[in-house]
Structure 1
Amino acid sequence: MDFAGAYTWEHIRFLLEGLGVTLKVAVIAIVLSFLIGCLLGIVRYTKLPVISQLTALCVEIIRNLPLLLIIFFAFFALPEVGIKLSVQNAAILALTVFEAAMISEIVRSGVKSIDQGQIEAARSSGLGYTQTLWHITLPQALRRMMPPMVSQFISLLKDTSLAVVISLGELMHHAQIINGQNVNFIIPILLLAAIIYFVVNYTLSIVARRLEARQV
């Protein structure tokens, strides 16, 4: 093990560049999956004829597929039907699709957890279905959903490492490149990458715990 040779500023900067890509892909996927997941969750909750059933079917299919398969599909299969994406865009698409399905279930469960009495009271006071959903149900449900959502976002950030299989230049990909220079760098570099992941994800987990504590 060569810690001195592995921990040069050049290598650390290279890893941080990979972390930048990891965070960029994760943030974009988080925003998109949150928006799409909320929409899908609400559609499932409203139980619209046919649409809700089709949405539920698609969500269940995606939730039960491995993320790695979805990444492969986005990068290798879509070009076969004329949709060619860059490595980064393919990773973002795969993560967004997978996480949106997960978040939709969180949203559906969160909305269903609101006391039915409040909804009936809002309806009896003259509010329409959409107004009740927007002004009464969703604000309360969102507070309850935040802790599990943050936990899901932590998982998303860690899952970006799976995109190394399509050579996305994220943290683990850069770590592999450094490891290829010298076998004595493997343990030090992987240890440093683990520390970086831990610091980022532990910070997010603290946020999740504080949000959860506020709900008690």
Structure 2
Amino acid sequence: MDFAGAYTPDHLKFLLEGFLVTLKVAGIAIVLSFIIGGLIGTIRYAKIPILSQILAILVELIRNVPLLLIIFFTFFALPEVGIKLTPTMAAITALTIFESAMLSEVIRSGLNSIHKGQLEAGRSSGLSYVQTLWHIVLPQALRRMVPPIVSQFISLLKDTSLAVVISLSELMHNGSVIYAQPGGDKFIMPIFILIAGMYFVVNYALSIIARRLELKTT
């Protein structure tokens, strides 16, 4: 193991550039999947005829397919129908599709955990269904959803490493470039340790934020 050779300024800069790509892809996918997943979860909770059933089938299909397959599909299969995406866009699209399905179940379960009496009470007080959902049901459900939602965000951040298969210049890809160079076999352990540490710092910070949010909402 050669820690000094692995942690040169150029190598550290290259890893940091990859980590910024990881955070960028994860950040965009988190925002999009939260919006889309929230919409799907709410529609399924509301049991809108036909649309709810169609979404249920799509969600179950996506949840039971490996994320790696979805990444391959967005990057290699979509060009067959005229949709060519860059590695970054393909990774964001695949992660958003997968995490939207996962988050929709978290949100639907959170909404279902609120007693139906809350919904009935809101309607009886003169609020519309949407107003009752927004002002009464959703705030209570969010308190229970925070831990699993943040857990999904952490999983999404780690799952960005799968995009190495489509040569996305994220953290794992840049790390592999460093130890693939001549004589780089001595860098494998130091590079892996540093990569693990970088993932840990961000994911642990998200865990702390989740715990604090959970305490504030209780």
Task: Indicate the TM-score class for this superposition, using the shorter chain for normalisation.
Answer: over 0.9
Q: CA separation in 1, counterparts of 2:126 and 2:2?
A: 71
CA offsets 1:145-171 (integer angstroms, 9 cap, x no match): 122111100000000000000000000
**Alpha-carbon separation, structure 1, partners of 2:116 and 2:185:** 61
Look up the match of 1:140: 140
Task: Give the Cα separation in 1 of the matches to 2:196 and 2:21.
Answer: 16
TM-score by length of 1: 0.97
What is the rounded CA distance, in whole Å, between the counterparts of 2:151 and 2:43 in structure 1?
A: 23
TM-score by length of 2: 0.96
Pair 1:25-2:34 in alignment: no
How far off is 1:209 after superposition?
Answer: 2.4
Amino acid at match of 1:57: I
Q: What is residue 202 of structure 1 aligned with on the other side?
A: 204
Cα distance in structure 1, aligned partners of 2:171 and 2:216: 33
Contact 1:71 1:163 in 2 (8 A): yes
Larger displacement relative to structure 2 (123-132 or 93-102): 123-132
Shift of 1:211: 2.7
Aligned letter for 1:71? I
1:84 aligns to what?
Answer: 84
AA aligned opposite 1:196: M
In 1, Cα distance between the equivalents of 2:89 and 2:213? 31
What is the number of residues matched between the two proteins?
A: 216
Which 5+ residue runs of structure 1 have no aligned equivalent? none
Residue 47 of structure 1 aligns with which residue? 47
Distance 2:138 2:216 in 1: 17
1:13 aligned partner: 13
Alpha carbon RMSD of aligned pairs, Å? 1.0
Query: Does the 8 A contact of 1:71 with 1:90 survive in 2?
Result: yes
Residue pair 1:123, 1:129 contacting (<8 A) in 2 also: yes
Indicate if the aligned counterparts of 1:148 and 1:208 stay in contact, CA closer than 8 A. no
Q: Does 1:105 align with 2:110?
A: no
3-state secondary structure, aligned to 2:158: helix
Deviates more, 1:23-32 or 1:185-194: 185-194
For residue 160 of structure 2, what is the aligned residue in structure 1? 160
User: How far apart, in 2, do the equivalents of 1:27 and 1:183 lie?
Assistant: 32
Q: Which moved more, 1:66-75 or 1:1-10?
A: 1-10
Question: Is this contact kept in 2: 1:62–1:98, CA < 8 A?
Answer: yes
Measure, in 2, the Cα distance between the counterparts of 1:20 and 1:151.
21
Question: 1: distance between equivalents of 2:135 and 2:212?
Answer: 25
| Partner of residue 125, structure 1 | 125
The Cα of 1:214 is off from its aligned counterpart by: 4.0
Percent pairwise identity: 69
Give the residue type in structure 2 aligned to 1:183.
D
